[in-house]
């Protein structure tokens, strides 16, 4: 959760460096993955709490 925004900040601060575009892409992928894993984790917790037993 913290690596994505940190890398995004580093990439946007160094726009003149040659690794700007790959670092920016990696930062966006990490940010999106963090959001997806957050929703999956919350969904798992809620399913374990409120799902009816068969």
pLDDT value at residue 54: 60
pLDDT value at residue 43: 94
pLDDT value at residue 51: 82
Distance of alpha carbon 54 from alpha carbon 23, whole angstroms: 48
User: Which residues in the chain show pLDDT less than 50?
Assistant: none
Q: How far is CA 52 from CA 10, 15, 22, 34, 38, in A?
A: 46, 52, 46, 29, 23
pLDDT value at residue 34: 96
Model pTM? 0.80
């Amino acid at each position: 959760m913290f690596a994505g925004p940190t890398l995004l900040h580093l990439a946007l601060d160094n726009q003149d460096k040659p690794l700007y575009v790959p670092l920016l892409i990696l930062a966006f992928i990490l940010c999106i993955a963090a959001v997806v894993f957050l929703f999956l984790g919350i969904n798992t917790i809620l399913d374990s709490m409120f799902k009816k037993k068969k």
